[in-house]
Structure formats: C-alpha cells, structure tokens
Structure 1
Amino acid sequence: MVEEAPYRRIAAEIRERIARGDLAPGDRIPSTREITRDWGVAMATATKVINALREAGLVETRSGAGSVVIDRSSPQVEVVIQPDVPAHAGGFHVAASPRLRRAGEPELNRDRVVSSAVAIADAEGLSMLTMRRVAADLGVATMSLYRHVPSKEELILAMIDAVFGENPLPEEPPADWRARLETAARQMWQSFAAHPWAAEPLSLTRPQLLPNVLPYSEWSLGTLRELGFGVDEMMHIHLSLFGHVRASALNLDAELRAREDTGVTNDEWADQHGDELEAVLSAAAERFSALRYVAERGFDYDIAAVFESGLRLLLDGVAVALARREVSGDEQVDLSVV
C-alpha cells in the first residue's frame, strides 16, 4: 500500500478541523512555520499544505492575518471550477480543483499580483513568497503572472514600492531641519513596522530606484545640503539614518518570525534562559560585570523604544556636527535652526 503524502495527510487534518467548526470562517489556520513546527515537516511540505487547502477553496490569504478560512456562504464569493486540475487534492476528494473569487473581481493585472504578494509576505514573511504561491492565491496559472511581473525579484521591488506608496511623505516639509529628518525616519519606520519583510531587500550599497522610496533620499539629502554639509557628509549622515531605520526593521522582522517559529515572545525567551545567563555571568563576574549589572536590574527589550533612542542620538550627532562647522568657519550656517 502506498503511503499517503505528508502534505495531503496534514491538509486533511486541517480540513477536518474546518468541517467540525474548530476553525470558523475568518479564523487563521496554522501558518507554514507552525506546520513545520507542529507536524515536523519541511517548509516545502508546509507550503503544499496551504496551497492544497487554497486550491480546494477553503482558505484565502489576508494581509496581516495570514491564511484564513473562507465563508463559502457569503454572497460575495463564488466557486470557480478549474477542470484541468486533478480531482484528488490535499488528501480529500473534490469534483475538481475549485478556487474562490470575489464577485465582480477584476481581471488579473499587475496591481492584483503585487497586492496578493504583499498579503503573503505580511502573513508569513518574504521567505514564503513564491510565484506559484501568488498564483494559487489568485486562482491563476503560475506562468500568467509573468505577463505582469517578469521575475520574482521585480515583484519584490514592486511590493516595496507599493507599501511605501501607502504612506507618502507630507507635501510640505517642516521648517526645522531636525523635524524634517525625524519625519522622514519615523515615516519610513512606520512603513517597515507595517511590513517588516520590506527592510531586507533594500540595499545601502546598491540602492534600488523605486518611485515611492526615492523621495526619502531627496528629502534627507536636500535638508542636509541646505545646512551646508558637503557631499561626503551628506551621504554619511543620510546612510547612517537610513541604516538605523532599516536595522531596526530587520530586528523587528526577525523577532516576528522567531515568535511564529517557536510560539515564544522575546520576554518569555529571556525568562526561559535566565538561569543559563545567570550561570555564565556568575562564572565570570569580573569579566562581564556590565552585563551582570544590566541582568540584575532587568531590561525590557522594546524594538520601537530602541529605534527612538537611536534616532535621537543620531540627530543629536548631526546637531553637534553642524555646530562644529560653524565654530570652525567651514560654512556660515544659521544656527537658529539647530
């Protein structure tokens, strides 16, 4: 007897939970990372599970929520049969491979492809994004996506541009230089906080020319130029600010994925490893006295708070550099704005 494929078995288990009502319409089903953890399978297998449930018309991906159970009774949803797909999918029988689409849903276009990809990345991280996964979400053949985006790499850039377009910089910048730089940094941070996966693909050394991201560079560099900084100083300050925002977002993304992988928050992780840390620090008390000092008093690791503190220190440094230029006579800068 041929053993059933693991992805079909897992899909059937989740389907049974849906049928029993344990997972109601709108409820999030286990993510690919949770499937790998709870069922002990590879990520590729977990992805097949989600795809099988989606192809069976049971789930859809929603931005910020992940893959959720669809309300099949909704008048806004209709089942579309794809007769060219095998009838046995996901470990359970269907008349064909149905896909659900919203009533009045528009034809496939670039915006729909990008929007679907963003929802998948928001729900499960950029590492889970594949052209096949996007196609399954949209209920189309994978090759049809390439008429709208020529490659996965270009799709990711379009996704980043789209999420930055959600929250553009204000038309009128603040009059004060510090408020200008602070506004740009905080606005970029907000975009990353909403979509942490967007930080990793953006490059400091080989910047991508994205229409909704370029204004941040112009805003920052224009402000620094008005203050009288030279090109090298302008770029060093700009890259330091951008690097801080991006690094904070990378930490945020890593923490979100670690939490999903393990089901443990960073505070819970610290509690679980407290005895281990205490043993290491006690064995070398003099060598690690500063670490012991912090451990004894406790530190609430809040990535947003670390971002704010780092931004304040960087802007304080710009103020010092600006004042130093005035004192040395390098430039005649109006220090009323410092």
Structure 2
Amino acid sequence: MSFDRSSAGDPARSLELLWRAPAAPRRGPRQRLDVDRVVAVAVALADAEGLDAVTMRRVAQQLGVVPMTLYTYVPGKAELLDLMLDTAYLRMPRTDTAGRPWRARLSAVAEENRALFEAHPWAAAISTGRPPLGPGMMAKYEHELSALDGLGLDDVEMDAALTFLLTFVQANARSAAEARAARRDSAMDEEQWWAANAPLLERVLDPRAYPTAARVGTAAGSAHGAAYSPAHAWEFGLGRVLDGLAVLVEGRGDAARNGTP
C-alpha cells in the first residue's frame, strides 16, 4: 500500500531544513530563491490541486526554474513534505484557553486541527506516525499538551489522550474530504444522488431481508438528508471522544480527592 508519510526522507537533512540550520556558504551568483519561497509555492499548489500535484518538476515550473535548481534548496519531495506540514503547523491559530474547563480546552484543540485540515485538506491524508520534528510541530505539541496539563494524568497518558483526540479529528477530516470529492465528481449533492438511485434500490432491496439496516438507514437518511453527514459525525464523534476521556480525567480527580494512587 502506497501513502504519503512525514519523515520519509533523509532525517538529518530534514531537521536542518526544518530548523533552517545555516548552510555552508556557496560561491557563485547570489541565489534568487530560498527554502521559504519553495515551501510556500508547494503549499499553494497542494491547496489548489491536491498532494499528487506536488512534484519537484511542477514546483520548479511554478517558480520559473529548472527542476535541478530546486534540488539546491530541497533534496526531494519527502523533505519538502515535512517542510510543508511543519509550515502549516507553525501558522495555525492557537486559542488561549487558560482557566477554562478541560472539555472546552480539548474542544478548542480539536477545532483548531479541524480548521487546519479544512484550509489544507492534503494535510489530513499524510501519516504522521513519525512527525516532522520542526518548530511548527513542537509549538503545536506544546500548545495542545497545555490543554491536558494539571488534570492528574501522567506524561504517557497526556500524550495518549492527545493522540486519541487528534486521530479522531484527522479521520473525520478525511471522511469529510471524501464526501466533498464525491459531490464534486458526481456533480450531484447527496439529495440528488439518492433521488437518482432510490428507484433502483427499491427494486433490488427487500427490506424484510435486512429489517434493522432498512429501518436505521431510513431514519439516518431522513435525519441528515444523506447517508453520511460530516457535520453530524463531527458533533457526535467529538462528544463521544470527550466522554471517553472523561472516564480517565474524572477518575484521576476522584482518586486525588480520595487520597488513592
């Protein structure tokens, strides 16, 4: 299975680029590009056309240089991907939630990441099991951990709770992107698609063979006007994620009040 993931290139070179470590001076004419401009063009291209459009050749064309020139700044697409993702992280708005209840703080973190994926849909498609350890990633991680600090969780639990929350946000963003793509590719919204296909479905589907599926599917479709509602999936799913974390967080609070470890 082929998929895009962060930290897939040369780790040493990626870290140097992410933190903009000073490069050895080069002889020759003054360079007219820099890493920031290359990354900005790549991000704009991904935003407009998707991640598949981001190739070294295409980015070079957008910059008006030959592809070999681009390799002077970035060694390959894998390292460029790390730079794009970290740049998106660095520019994320960060809500000050100090003093607010923990559910409100985590909801703010979730909404910030949802906004990130709406602005940069390609970012939701990238596997970040090995995250780009740049300034954007570290600032994001520090900020998001603050929503869990002081709740009685140990460090491993804080990391796991944040991962649990962000995994839901990323999965929801992918599903929402797929729903948008389906509407775009079919040139029909959900209501139009079901209107076109319902007559055939009624002919081939015997509700007596699938009574529960027929009943529940009809109820959900009537409620959402579609088989899948990204907005409802977000609201319902985020609530259940927070309910699940409440078992851990509130359990720690009860243990502290009772003086148990």
Q: Same fold (TM over 0.5)?
A: yes
3-state DSSP of counterpart to 1:224: coil
Which letter maps to 1:175? Answer: G
**Counterpart of 1:316?**
243
Q: 1:148-163, aligned counterparts within 5 Å?
A: 148-163=73-88
**Aligned residues between the structures:** 224
Q: Distance in 1 between matches of 2:220 and 2:110?
A: 31
Between 1:291-300 and 1:223-232, the stretch displaced more is: 291-300
Find out whether 1:249 has 2:173 as its counterpart: yes
Provide the C-alpha distance between the structure 2 equivalents of 1:185 and 1:296, rounded to a whole number of angstroms: 27
| Greater fraction of residues in helix | 2
What amino acid maps onto 2:211 in structure 1? E
- Compared with structure 1, are the counterparts of its residues 124 and 183 closer, same or farther at alpha carbon in structure 2 (3 Å cutoff)? same
Match of 2:110 in 1: 185
Alignment check: 8 A CA contact 2:113 2:169 kept: yes
State the 1:238 CA deviation: 1.2
* Aligned counterpart, 2:187: 263
Residue type of the partner of 2:55?
Answer: T
CA 118–220 in structure 1, closer or farther in 2 if over 3 Å, else same: closer
What SS is found at the alignment partner of 2:126?
coil
SS at match of 1:288: helix
Q: Which moved more, 1:209-218 or 1:192-201?
A: 209-218
Q: What's the counterpart of residue 173 of structure 1? A: 97
Match for residue 306 of structure 1? 233
1:325 aligns with 2:252: yes
| Residue pair 2:46, 2:122 contacting (<8 A) in 1 also | yes
- When residues 291 and 234 of structure 1 are mapped into structure 2, their CA distance, relative to the original with a 3 A threshold, is same
Residue matched to 1:210? 134
Identify if the C-alpha distance between structure 1 residues 242 and 128 changes in structure 2 by more than 3 Å, giving closer, same or farther.
same
Is residue 111 from structure 1 mapped to residue 36 from structure 2 by the alignment? yes
> What SS does the corresponding residue of 1:121 show, helix, strand or coil?
helix
Tell me the SS of whatever aligns to 1:273.
Answer: helix
- Structure number with the higher strand fraction is 1
- Relative distance call for 1:128 and 1:269 in structure 2 (3 A) is farther
Q: What is the identity percentage for the equivalent residue pairs of Structure 1 and Structure 2?
A: 36
> Residue 288 of structure 1 is aligned with which of 213, 230, 237?
213
Structure 1 residue 255, shift from structure 2 partner? 2.9
Among candidates 63, 66, 84, match of residue 141 of structure 1: 66
Q: Secondary structure at the match of 1:212?
A: helix
Distance in 1 of aligned mates of 2:138 and 2:71: 26
1:238 and 2:156 matched: no
Q: Provide TM-score, normalisation by structure 1.
A: 0.58
Amino acid at match of 1:326: G
> Which entry has the higher C-alpha Rg, 1 or 2?
1
